[in-house]
Amino acid sequence: MTPPPPPPMPTGRFAPSPTGVLHLGNLRTALASWLSARAAGGRWIIRMEDVDGPRCRRDLGEAQLRDLEALGLTSDEPVLWQSGRRGAYRAVLEVLHEADRLYPCACTRKDLLKLASAPHAEDGLRPYPGHCRNRAWEGFDRALRLRLPEGPVAWQDRLLGSQEDDPAALTGDPLLFRRDGCFAYHLAVVVDDGAQGVTEVVRGADLRPVTATQIRLQEALGLPRPAYAHLGLVIAPDGSRLGKRGGALGLAELAARGVGAPEVVGWLGFTLGCLERPEPCAAADLIPRFDWTRVPKGEVRVPAPWAT
Ligand SMILES: [Zn+2]
């Protein structure tokens, strides 16, 4: 008998889009994923999700890496920029096409808006109703969607516990390739988590509704399912979402108000249940104190003096 393969190295990741400044919510996610990986004796990697066309900029990504480094968070591997991965994504589309899981979608943005009756359309998440499901294959130069199997997906969240979602009700068949030639977020994130051996995905609660859909795509590709943890969002003192109104509340803005990196790390560590009160510290000081059972589930409000 062959012995079972050794368990994979615990691997966490932080995967921002280089479209702006990392705000305190992004930084909290980065620190939590780093602490979780480090506390498990694992590795931690940074990936730049820059597939989304011209909004993504190399200089913004590099500024994000400098901010992470200022907090003591550096990638154990060279940073992966997804814009260099188009060949790999295309190969995966071919695998899915061979398995008859893809179909071309001819809907325009206007069609989709007309079809959308969902009141939560405000957050940009409208389930695709499957209009084009029975369209014949027209080649790889069309918008392509994944045909989801029916039924709900049950999964465990390190923070939120047992979850069950029906991806058809949340996203519908996800877009994997866009009419403009760009690979879509769902495809890139699932393929690269698999390729990089990621065992744990820590991210903001705003991405929780796409988890079941991404699990379906992992299954279609035969990829292992990582553990998930969805953190409550960080909101401004007035309750608004960071970056939407007012300042981005990034490190440079905070530094200009006299709040340095050790103070930011201490406050983030406090909001993650590692410290009894916010006090300046280094990220490494928090590793032995990190425990998912102590991380609060809800939203976190930025201290008022930091935002004014
Ligand atoms: Zn369509």
Mean pLDDT of 23-29: 96
pLDDT at 5 > cutoff 60: yes
Q: What is the pLDDT of residues 63-73, one digit of tens each?
A: 999 999 999 99
Cα(76) to ligand 1 centroid in Å equals 41
Q: What is the pLDDT of residues 97-154, one digit of tens each?
A: 999 999 999 998 877 776 655 444 444 557 999 999 999 999 999 999 999 999 999 9
Instruction: Tell me the domain boundaries of the chain.
Output: 10-81+232-303, 85-189
Distance between Cα 107 and ligand 1 center (Å): 4
CA of 117 to the centre of ligand 1 (A): 16
For residue 253, report the distance from its CA to the centre of ligand 1, in Å. 43
What does the pLDDT read at residue 101?
97
What integer is the mean pLDDT of 243-272?
A: 89
Query: For position 232, what pLDDT does the model report?
Result: 96
Centroid of ligand 1 to alpha carbon of 18 (angstroms): 29
Ligand 1: centre distance to CA 132 (Å): 4
Task: Provide the pLDDT for residue 121.
Answer: 43
Distance 163 CA to ligand 1 centre (A): 29
Model confidence at 301: pLDDT above 60: yes
* Matching fold, domains 10-81+232-303 and 85-189: yes
Tell me the pLDDT of the chain averaged across its residues.
92
From ligand 1's centre to the CA of 69, what distance in Å?
43
pLDDT at 153: 98
Find the 126 Cα to ligand 1 centroid distance in Å.
13
As a three-state string, the secondary structure of 29-75 is: HHHHHHHHHHHCCCEEEEEECCCCHHHCCHHHHHHHHHHHHHCCCCC
Cα 97 to averaged position of ligand 1 atoms, centre (Å)? 17
User: How many Å lie between the centroid of ligand 1 and the Cα of residue 136?
Assistant: 12
- If you average pLDDT over residues 246-270, what whole number do you get? 92
Q: What is the mean pLDDT of residues 19-30?
A: 95
C-alpha of residue 83 to centroid of ligand 1, in Å: 26
The pLDDT tens digits of the residues spanning 204-254 come to 999 999 999 999 999 999 999 999 999 999 998 888 888 755 567 899 999
- Say how many Å lie between the CA of residue 84 and the centre of ligand 1: 28
Q: What percent of the chain has pLDDT over 90?
A: 82
- Ligand 1 geometric centre to CA of 226 (Å): 30
Q: Does domain 10-81+232-303 have CATH number 3.30.70.1140?
A: no
Res 241: pLDDT:
85
Dist. CA 206 → ligand 1 center (Å)? 25
30-34, 53-57, 231-235, 253-257: the lowest-pLDDT one: 53-57
Spell out which residues have Cβ within 5 A of ligand 1, the ion.
Answer: 105, 107, 131-132
Fold that domain 85-189 belongs to in CATH: Rossmann fold (3.40.50)
Centroid of ligand 1 to alpha carbon of 109 (angstroms): 10
Confidence at residue 109, expressed as pLDDT on a 0 to 100 scale: 81
Gap from CA of 127 to ligand 1 centroid (Å):
12
